[in-house]
Structure 1
Amino acid sequence: MREVNVPIRGLRAERLPRTVWWLVLARAINRLGAFSVGFLTVLITAEFGVSAVAAGVVAAAFGLATIPSRLLGGVLADRLGRRRTIVAGLVGCALAQAGIAVSGSVAMVAGFAVLLGLAFEVYEPPSQAMIADAVRPAQQAQAFSLFNTALAVGGMGAGLIAAGLGRWDLRWLFVADAVSCLLCAVVIRLVLPADRPAPVPVPAPDASPGASPGSAPDASSGFGHGSGSGSGGPSRGTWAAWRDRRLLVLLLSGTLFAVIFMQVGMAMPLALARRGMEAADAGLLSAVAAVVMVLCQPLLRWTAALSHHAAMTWGYLLLATGLAGYAASGGLPGHLAATLVWSAGDVLMFGRSYALVVDLAPPDARGRYLSVFGTCWGFATVLAPLSGTQLLDRAGPEGLWGGLAAACLLLAVAQHTVIRPLLDRQAPAL
């Protein structure tokens, strides 16, 4: 695989396109309303008097539905168009949220929860594909990292909104979420460029019979694709991405990272309580992490000369250091310091992982490749609660954070010694 590296000075002079900034703003707006899902089980138990187990089943059904939702978003992004798919997904979320708000029975809530799950992740693949279309390869890591930071920043405001509306009436949380989805859809529809036909790579006139037609530049963006443009030629059906072994390797490592990342949010309140601290301090740590992600964006420019694999290796090492800090710390100051470290590591590696996926994808299959890779978060939604609670119960907070730090070290070693050689070896010659 051919890495695209640029001088730091050159990257500083280039600004991200307005399309990226509008997508970042829209995602932050949408995240401001995406707080109601966490209160789904509370609504079911409080409004209808069912058991927590039954409410958990409904929540699990929502989580499982998000996996095909992301895959659907990838297919529609490549066939229907980026902007149309984003708008359709957001409108679908708004209708499902409104349905939950007016439901009069558990069965209705469950039905609309599944519909919400099926629409919930449709937004992601076309947004990521639109970013990949709009920026040069050297800017992809920065753009994807900024896109992820918008999620964290929006989450800070979401917590404040939830604290206010949740005390009034839980159903209004879902109403507010529906409104935010519609507002986000309007922003996307008005300010983003219209969809164009998917680019179809055409082989050069002097190309050899065995050359990959995907090596032509992407017609939609006007920029070359590095090794990804020659990785597999035109896509041949929905399941073509699943047959790319390089993508599956990234999906495996991405799933392990997603499980680790989600533990910080899911297990932190329980881990703090186990140590005699306030569980609510997890919200403070989350807010600090969001601030660090914003302040550390220049880190991407300073490390622009590093290859994707090298940057991700250093990112995993910072994540391991921060999680080890959680294991060794018994008070809030130590947890705050550890949060500063792992948040910087997240900024360093998150955008690079998506840039690697874009490098692999043929120009007409970016949405599908990104959606397949994005299912790692759906798998982690199922695996993280199971593994985290088991580790916490059997090994305590020290064992939980120490085990996750060891997993990050494993990813750091694998990225440099296994994943990179494997991707290079299986990449076709250009």
Structure 2
Amino acid sequence: MRSAPTDSLRSELRSLPRAYWVLVGGWFVNRFGTFVVPFLTLFLTSRGHPPTSVALVLSMNGLGQFSASLLGGYFSDRFGRRHTIVIGTFANAAAIFSLYFAHEIGAIAGFMFLAGFAGGFYMPASNALLADLVPEPLRLRAYSLQRVAINAGFACGSAAAGFLIGWSIFALFAGDAITTAAFGVIALTMLPHGLRVAKKEASWSQAWVVLRRDGAFWALCASTILTSFVFQQFGSTFSLEVKQRNLTLDLLGWHLGPEMVFGMILAWNGTLVATCELPLTRWTQRFESRNVITLGYLLLGGGFAINALHGGVGMFFGAMTVFTIGEMLSQPMRSAYVAALAPETMRGRYMGALAMAATSANIFGPHVSLPFHARSPAGLWLTCGALGVLAAVVLACFGRKARGDSR
């Protein structure tokens, strides 16, 4: 255990560089407009597409993310973080906007693959740029604050999307595309290139020699793959669960239907992260990284396992609270842990490999979770709990401390 930090939270935040704040602001704008993917299952079923087609579309998005992660990591190491972010955001915006005009399932699946590929392409570059900009002692705080901005944007955007979907489907897609492109403009005009390495240093053969010996990284990847199936339920079965239970809520004179309740639950997740994660990471930074991530994975699975119970809106908000505490413990610490593991010249590729693990369930997950949910909703949520336990066991038993990590 490390000693408690001596600097105040305010002084730590003020010491972060200007380019970091630009990056965080860009992520807020981007995630505020994440309108389409959380509501995609509802959108496709409302157009009459069967569950098998919905699963195909969702898995194509995951396949795109998975396929692009290593390429995006390599591109960010070789050609710079800024170029990678700009290309990825503009391409993602174009694919999301085009998706609205697609009606045949083949075209929808194709555009979702392109959207996933573009999104997966720029994600490693963003995380690597943060590590370039921020010194190691402040990285946990920096990753946490980035997530606060992302989730604050997601909370506001999810609540807005829940109302917007009943007014204009076109506005849902256009708003998502505009905000993603806005992040690209911010990156193009205000962000530095970040670290770029020579062609020889960017080779995958050299990176593989380092990666294959890094047992801590592979343990983290394995546990991340397991928990990625839990996260994948956000974009597939969770909205169906809320709708099938016909959860409604009367709030301040408004009668909220299931779609709006789903949006409010997602907004609750983002609100908790926005208000609680920074103080929480200030406390958890004194503990060993691996132990904090392990506890977080247990709570991630446990939160969704609660959904197996028979309850109403209050129970779902309670389950989301448990899940979100696990998310706040594990996700920022995981990013800082990988930044500590990765050699400086390989940050993009390490981030890309981790992104592959994090998106792996998006490929096969919908084909498993949607039929599983149709047969046994309670069984699916209990399986999420079991996966959280298994992920924690894998990391606790096979991981080790990162280089330079004394926690």
Please give the range of the TM-score, normalised by the shorter of the 2 chains.
0.7 to 0.9
1:175 and 2:144 are equivalent in the alignment = no
Q: Provide the residue aligned with 1:368 in structure 2.
A: 349
Give the 3-state SS of the residue equivalent to 2:352 in structure 1. helix
- Which residue of 381, 387, 394 maps to 1:407? 387
The 1-side partners of 2:163 and 2:63 are apart by 29
Give the 3-state SS of the residue equivalent to 1:337 in structure 2. helix
- Which residue of 248, 252, 256 maps to 2:222? 252
Paired residue type of 1:27: W
The 2-side partners of 1:46 and 1:329 are apart by 26
Paired residue type of 1:86: I
- The Cα of 1:249 is off from its aligned counterpart by 2.3
The 2-side partners of 1:136 and 1:254 are apart by 25
The 2-side partners of 1:59 and 1:391 are apart by 15
- Contact 2:61 2:363 (C-alpha < 8 Å) held by counterparts: no
Paired residue type of 1:135: V
The 2-side partners of 1:413 and 1:316 are apart by 9
- Contact 2:72 2:125 (C-alpha < 8 Å) held by counterparts: yes
The 2-side partners of 1:140 and 1:317 are apart by 24
Higher relative contact order (CA 8 A, sep 6+): 2
Q: Provide the residue aligned with 2:122 in structure 1.
A: 123
- The Cα of 1:76 is off from its aligned counterpart by 0.9
The 1-side partners of 2:303 and 2:38 are apart by 26
Larger of the two Rg values belongs to structure? 1
Give the 3-state SS of the residue equivalent to 1:72 in structure 2. helix
- The Cα of 1:237 is off from its aligned counterpart by 4.9
Paired residue type of 1:150: A
1:243 and 2:212 are equivalent in the alignment = yes
Give the 3-state SS of the residue equivalent to 2:139 in structure 1. helix
The 1-side partners of 2:49 and 2:279 are apart by 49
Matches within 5 A, 1:7-86: 7-10=4-7, 12=9, 13-15=11-13, 16-37=16-37, 53=52, 57-86=56-85
Contiguous gaps of at least 5 residues in structure 2: 249-257
- The Cα of 1:314 is off from its aligned counterpart by 2.8
1:284 and 2:264 are equivalent in the alignment = yes
Per-residue deviation, residues 101-155 of structure 1 (Å, max 9, x unmatched): 5669776655544333321222211110011112222322232233333333322
Q: Provide the residue aligned with 1:114 in structure 2.
A: 113
Give the 3-state SS of the residue equivalent to 1:185 in structure 2. helix
The 1-side partners of 2:239 and 2:103 are apart by 32
Q: Provide the residue aligned with 1:293 in structure 2.
A: 273
Matches within 5 A, 1:225-244: 236-237=205-206, 239=208, 243-244=212-213
- Contact 1:315 1:346 (C-alpha < 8 Å) held by counterparts: yes
Per-residue deviation, residues 264-286 of structure 1 (Å, max 9, x unmatched): 55333344456564444333222
TM-score normalised according to structure 1 size: 0.77
**CA-atom RMSD, angstroms?**
3.6
- The Cα of 1:85 is off from its aligned counterpart by 1.0
Relative to 1, partners in 2 of residues 1:239 and 1:175: Cα closer, same or farther, differing over 3 Å?
farther
- The Cα of 1:403 is off from its aligned counterpart by 3.2
Deviates more, 1:254-263 or 1:240-249: 240-249
- Contact 2:96 2:115 (C-alpha < 8 Å) held by counterparts: yes
Identity between Structure 1 and Structure 2 (%) = 30
Relative to 1, partners in 2 of residues 1:38 and 1:372: Cα closer, same or farther, differing over 3 Å?
same
Per-residue deviation, residues 21-65 of structure 1 (Å, max 9, x unmatched): 322221121123332345667878888x87775565455333312
Paired residue type of 1:337: G
Matches within 5 A, 1:308-319: 308-319=289-300
TM-score normalised according to structure 2 size: 0.80
- Contact 2:90 2:180 (C-alpha < 8 Å) held by counterparts: yes
- Which residue of 346, 353, 357 maps to 2:327? 346
The 2-side partners of 1:110 and 1:400 are apart by 25
- Contact 1:241 1:372 (C-alpha < 8 Å) held by counterparts: no
Per-residue deviation, residues 202-253 of structure 1 (Å, max 9, x unmatched): xxxxxxxxxxxx9xxxxxxxxxxxxxxxxxx996456556634423322111
Paired residue type of 2:22: W
- Contact 1:235 1:365 (C-alpha < 8 Å) held by counterparts: no
Matches within 5 A, 1:144-293: 144-163=143-162, 166-167=165-166, 170-195=169-194, 197-198=196-197, 236-237=205-206, 239=208, 243-246=212-215, 247-263=217-233, 266-272=236-242, 277-278=247-248, 279-280=258-259, 281-293=261-273
Relative to 1, partners in 2 of residues 1:261 and 1:166: Cα closer, same or farther, differing over 3 Å?
closer
Relative to 1, partners in 2 of residues 1:333 and 1:106: Cα closer, same or farther, differing over 3 Å?
closer
Q: Provide the residue aligned with 1:335 in structure 2.
A: 316
Give the 3-state SS of the residue equivalent to 1:7 in structure 2. coil
- The Cα of 1:66 is off from its aligned counterpart by 1.8
Contiguous gaps of at least 5 residues in structure 1: 202-213, 215-232
- Contact 1:69 1:121 (C-alpha < 8 Å) held by counterparts: yes
The 1-side partners of 2:207 and 2:113 are apart by 23
Relative to 1, partners in 2 of residues 1:195 and 1:263: Cα closer, same or farther, differing over 3 Å?
closer
